Amino acid sequence: MEFQHYSVLLNETIGQLNIRPDGVYLDGTLGGGGHAGEVLRRLSDKGHLFGIDQDEAAVRAASERLSSFGNKVTVIRNNYRNAVTVLKELGVDGLDGIVLDLGVSSYQFDTAKRGFSYRYDTVLDMRMDQRSSLSAKEIVNGYPESELFHIIKDYGEEPFAKNIAKHIVREREKKEITTTFELNDIIKNAIPAKMRQGGGHPSKRTYQAIRIECNHELEVLRDSLDEMISFLRPGGRICIITFHSLEDRIVKTVFRTNESPCICPPEFPVCTCGRMSKGKVITRKPVLPSKEELEENSRSKSAKLRTFERRGDS
């Protein structure tokens, strides 16, 4: 299957980046190369873009799609949590802009064997990086009931998390749970019939939770942002597209803390903690998809774009 991914909030993200033709940019979640391609079109021969993705299929597809840009682009297979370290090793001393599109690609959802979707009867997987030893199957069959409950409750915001965890443990004692449809049946049976009416597929929240745990998505995001902001050159911007409230909350909090890091009590006449602002939040409210985009791609509906700009005198 061809690697396809609709680039959500594409024009809005490119606009927010304030691209300099001779700048150095990072797309930390390269996917099919949609955002990267638009950045590259705006760069001169002196500009450069680094594209990072942990998914081998994405790296292969983006390398091919962006090959016409020649030596203006460097594609790397890695996790964006390692981006700053990798770029420093390549001699890069700062960036003029960063894009993170945190959504799972359409390719990942629609390729049955990857196990991201409850729509296909396939092996439980959900790994964005196929080199990882932790898959959805290991989580479902190996995590204690209490841990499953907390993951499904916290990462999936699933009201029936306790019952779903209980049903999973009960069923796996009979036999190992290996396929998506087996898991679907367990989740369905754990949710009261009247509560399954409307609100989408009953497995939706649980699959989101397991996927987040499998790929350490929130941990990676939380651990990466401060370093990425510090690696921006003066006036450089980081644009992040999130797809659920947990991601958005992390981005919003980190951006706000980097803008106003002072921890002195409000009654102090002057700051004594010494924490300096790294820049300013550009998007006081997140940028949302247009009506036209929502009509074209229903998967955009939960997308939010937030932007932070590095201080000019940093």
For 77-124, write each residue's pLDDT tens digit.
Answer: 999 999 999 999 999 999 999 999 997 887 888 889 999 999 999 999
Asked whether the beta carbons of 96 and 16 are under 8 A apart, the reply is no
CA angle centred on 25, ends 17 and 1, rounded to 5°: 95
3-class state of residue 97 by DSSP: strand
What is the average pLDDT across 199-203?
86
3-class state of residue 184 by DSSP: helix
Asked whether the CA dihedral 32, 36, 40, 41 is positive or negative, the reply is positive
CATH 3.20.20.300, domain 10-107+218-310, yes or no: no
Whole-number average pLDDT of the chain? 94
Asked whether the beta carbons of 116 and 104 are under 8 A apart, the reply is yes
What is the average pLDDT across 18-46?
96
What is the average pLDDT across 232-236?
98
pTM above 0.85, yes or no: yes
Strand 95-101 to 279-281 pairing: unpaired
Residue 7 reports pLDDT greater than 50: yes
Asked whether the beta carbons of 300 and 289 are under 8 A apart, the reply is yes
Edge-to-edge strands, sheet with 232-242: 73-77, 48-53, 24-27, 95-101, 232-242, 304-310, 279-281
List the chain domain ranges. Answer: 10-107+218-310, 112-215
Q: Which residues contact 160 (CB under 8 A, 6 or more apart)?
A: 190, 191, 192, 195
Strand 232-242 to 304-310 pairing: antiparallel
Asked whether the beta carbons of 152 and 164 are under 8 A apart, the reply is yes
Label residue 6 by pLDDT band (50, 70, 90): low
Tens-place pLDDT, residues 267-287: 888 888 888 899 999 999 999
Helix%, strand%, coil% for the chain, nearest 5 = 45, 15, 40
Task: Give me the pLDDT at residue 142, please.
Answer: 98
Show the tokens assigned to 275: 């924490």
Show the tokens assigned to 41: 């079109």
Which superfamily, per CATH, for 112-215? Putative methyltransferase TM0872, insert domain (1.10.150.170)
Let me know if 45 is exposed, middle or buried by CB neighbors in 10 A (0-12, 13-18, 19+).
Answer: exposed
